[in-house]
């Protein structure tokens, strides 16, 4: 079983990715710093959850795009 993230965390993370796509990568530490700058007034736990979900989403995008490139080469 995986970790459960609330809709609030997912909604905030997706909104940040939509509004600031160039500020995030698949590195949790850099995402954590970017989220801290962009979101004021949230607890550290919530910021870390958002950064973790952003990292998870972007890592999945890179994996799927790498699979597509591998299929094209073969």
In this predicted model, what pLDDT tens digit does every residue of 49-73 receive, in sequence order? 999 999 999 988 776 666 666 565 6
Q: CA 25 to CA 7: how far, in whole Å?
A: 21
Give the CATH number for residue 55: 1.10.60.20
Q: Which domain covers residue 69, as residue numbers?
A: 7-73
pLDDT tens for each residue of 10-49: 999 999 999 999 999 999 999 999 999 999 999 999 999 9
Considering the domain boundaries, does residue 2 fall inside one?
no
Q: What is the DSSP letter of 34?
A: H
Q: CA 47 to CA 64: how far, in whole Å?
A: 26
Count of domains in the chain? 1
């Amino acid at each position: 079983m995986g970790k459960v993230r609330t809709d609030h965390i997912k909604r905030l993370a997706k909104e940040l990715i939509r509004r600031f796509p160039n500020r995030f990568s698949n590195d949790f530490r850099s995402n954590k710093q970017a989220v801290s700058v962009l979101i004021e007034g949230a607890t550290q736990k919530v910021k870390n959850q958002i950064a973790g979900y952003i990292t998870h989403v972007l890592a999945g995008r890179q994996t799927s795009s790498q699979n597509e490139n591998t299929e094209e080469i073969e």
